Structure 1
Amino acid sequence: MAAEAESGIQIHPMDQFIVRPFFGGTEVHWYTITNVTVWMALAICCVVALMVLGTRRRAIVPSRTQSVAELAYGFVYKMVEDVTGHDGVKYFPYIMTLFMFILFSNFLGLIPKSFTTTSHMAVTVVLAMAVFITVTAIGFMKHGKHFLELFWVSSAPLALRPVLAVIEVISYLVRPVSHSIRLVGNVMAGHAVIKVFAGFAAVALISPLSVVAITAMYAMEVLVAFIQAYVFTILTCVYLRDALHPHH
């Protein structure tokens, strides 16, 4: 330890993403309450508090909480209607739940000493796979074998259609990967950079610059927290539109 201290500043930006038992210890089992499960539960509680408790009075003159809830509701509803059409509105509750959970998970992760659940593939892959399986099931239930027309580009020359079909199938199958990695990568990268700047803040010579950099990065991460929730949600809407209308 002394040798490490003498060698200079030790910065470990990825330590903040380690899954640990919430009540102490080192071993993590399937039944262990970890920092991930606790902060996921807090995100769910925040969604319920805003969307259920915050709107239970339904006042004509809304409170601030009700105004925020109504704004979020209208924002996601318009997104679903604009992207998927009227047929997709029936799936609005599912998409709204996804958006609010990711949004609160991202925002809670900005609290000092908290844990960002959306920085873990285990969380985002489950969300992305749930979307993938759901929209695929909807496509086949609604259109049957005609859903496969999504992969057949009828507007292309006949000779190119088989090649394009293979490309379309591959791109469709990698959707969960890109859907989940995009969220993880953006969230994890921002938090890691903030941790690096926080480590440099211990150096008196560059401490003021580090504080400015941390402030700027934190402000950008607030924006990223919303944008990534929006991107995940609008991609879900796009995938749902393809399932409802599988025609080029």
Structure 2
Amino acid sequence: MATEAQGEEAGGLVFHPMDQFIVEPFFGEGAVAWYTITNATFWMALAVLTTFALLVLGTSRRSIIPTRMQSVAELAYGFVYKMVEDICGKEGVKYFPYIMTLFMFIVTANFLGLIPTAFSPTSHFAVTVVLALAVFLTVTVLGFVKNGTAFLGLFWVASAPLALRPVLAIIELISYFVRPVSHSIRLAGNIMAGHAVIKVFAGFAAIAVISPASIVAITAMYGLEVLVAFIQAYVFTILACVYLKDALHPGH
């Protein structure tokens, strides 16, 4: 704190890229309790309401000549439906509502987080871990319900030599339980890194000498983050579909 104060007094450049990820009360100040409305809960609720407005209100008056909202809703619906059908097959289509909800929440939260002064909830592991664990537990329970003990065939590589099968089974088992870790870290890490880099370039924009270059860098990074916001939602969803396929068809 003393060093920070000295830097400010000396007129130096002081900025903290990670401050934008601090969870704090949305109204007023003070400690955060379980019932406190924070910036994280506000933007998550806004993502849910935005998704509802797009998919429900935007298609409530469907017409042959669609409005812009209806066009976006139909495009998103067709995109996710095709993904589920291609990866999981016809049997997986019945789980399309869950996959669609997952994709729309993540992609909407990612895009809302790009609004200046907004908060990106998908940059927090507390959010992405819950989403990843929900997928992990859902497909695991579904796998046993649909296949019984035959679901354990997912870990037994029957095509491998008999001597290697126990070793491969251990590797498959470990990789299976690592799924929610990699699933959550990939999303949160990419979103957090992109926002932090934009904040760093924004801090350098205050220096007149390098301000033009910094503004160009911010613009380029922002364009990249728009792409990343969609790609990371797509990757998270397509992995959920792959895990769902394993639950429905566990045999190697």
Is the shorter-chain TM-score for this pair beyond 0.5, marking a shared fold? yes
TM-score by length of 1: 0.99
2:221 counterpart of 1:191: no
- Once the two structures are superposed, the pairs formed by residues 130-169 of structure 1 within 5 Å of their partners are 130-169=134-173
Select between 75-84 and 22-31 the one with higher mean Cα deviation: 22-31
Counterpart pick for 1:113 among 117, 120, 144: 117
In structure 1, C-alpha distance between the alignment counterparts of 2:217 and 2:245, rounded to whole Å:
41
Distance 1:2-1:167 versus aligned 2 partners, 3 A rule: closer
Give the superposed CA RMSD. Answer: 0.8
- Once the two structures are superposed, the pairs formed by residues 201-216 of structure 1 within 5 Å of their partners are 201-216=205-220
Q: How far has the Cα of 1:76 moved from its partner?
A: 0.2
- Once the two structures are superposed, the pairs formed by residues 1-248 of structure 1 within 5 Å of their partners are 3-5=6-8, 6=10, 8-248=12-252
Q: How far has the Cα of 1:3 moved from its partner?
A: 1.5
**Structure 2 gaps, min length 5:** none
TM-score by length of 2: 0.97
- What is the identity, as a one-letter code, of the residue corresponding to 2:222? Y
Render the CA deviation track for 1:105-137: whole Å, top value 9, x for unaligned. Answer: 000000000000000011000000000000001
DSSP 3-state at the match of 1:236: helix
In structure 2, C-alpha distance between the alignment counterparts of 1:204 and 1:25, rounded to whole Å:
34
Percent of aligned positions with the same letter in both sequences? 75
DSSP 3-state at the match of 1:69: helix
Q: How far has the Cα of 1:4 moved from its partner?
A: 2.0
Q: How far has the Cα of 1:235 moved from its partner?
A: 0.2
DSSP 3-state at the match of 1:52: helix
Render the CA deviation track for 1:66-111: whole Å, top value 9, x for unaligned. Answer: 0110000000000000001111000000000000000000000000
Select between 2-11 and 109-118 the one with higher mean Cα deviation: 2-11
- What is the identity, as a one-letter code, of the residue corresponding to 2:227? L
In structure 2, C-alpha distance between the alignment counterparts of 1:177 and 1:29, rounded to whole Å:
27
In structure 2, C-alpha distance between the alignment counterparts of 1:60 and 1:76, rounded to whole Å:
22
DSSP 3-state at the match of 2:134: helix
Q: How far has the Cα of 1:26 moved from its partner?
A: 2.4
In structure 2, C-alpha distance between the alignment counterparts of 1:137 and 1:2, rounded to whole Å:
54
**For this pair of structures, how many residues does the alignment match?**
248
